[in-house]
Amino acid sequence: MRTLFLNPNSSEEITSTLRHQVERCGWPADRWEVLKVDEALRIIGSASQNAKAEAAVELDLPVLSQGFDRVVMMSSVDTAPAGIFVTRHTALRAACSRSIAGSASN
């Protein structure tokens, strides 16, 4: 099972930080990837910016998610369209722990 951890903004710095946090979970490198939404704003800090980010995610998600079995949206503000599992950055370690335990049987 492959997991895409998606940063809904276009900040390479934040994406790098998120990637580092996922690496700390210890998953095999071929089971996950961290990507960003290039067409989104660099930083999302307001409701109007959140709406713009959501629109960018909706446009880019079909292409970005190809080859993945699940998508985890990583954000400090929930920007995901309905139907996508959303996790806050601070909850990443717990999400990784649960997913690693569940994927051990896959």
The top-scoring range by mean pLDDT among 8-17, 60-69, 86-95 is 60-69
How far apart are the C-alpha atoms of 92 and 106, rounded to whole Å? 21
Residue 105 confidence class, pLDDT cut points 50, 70, 90: very low
What are the tens digits of pLDDT across the range 29-58?
999 999 988 888 887 777 788 788 888 888
Q: Which of 79, 9, 2 is nearest to 38 (CA)?
A: 9
What's the confidence (pLDDT) of residue 75?
65
Q: Which two tokens stand for residue 94?
A: 């717990």
pTM above 0.85, yes or no: no
How far is the CA of 49 from the CAs of 56, 62, 79, 85, 106, in angstroms? Answer: 11, 21, 9, 20, 38
Residue 93 confidence class, pLDDT cut points 50, 70, 90: very low
Give 3-103's CATH code, choosing from 3.30.230.70, 3.10.129.10, 3.30.70.3340, 3.40.50.12500. 3.40.50.12500
How far apart are the C-alpha atoms of 100 and 106, rounded to whole Å? 10
Identify the three-state secondary structure at position 46: coil
Domains of the chain, residue spans:
3-103
98 versus 18: the higher-pLDDT residue is 18
What's the confidence (pLDDT) of residue 10?
82
| Helical spans, DSSP H, in 2-105 | 12-23, 47-64, 92-103
- Angle of CA points 37, 104, 3, to nearest 5°: 10
What's the confidence (pLDDT) of residue 74?
79
What mean pLDDT is predicted for residues 20-27? 88
Question: What angle in degrees, to the nearest 10, is found between the helix axes of 92-103 and 12-23?
Answer: 50
Q: Does the pLDDT of residue 68 top 80, yes or no?
A: yes
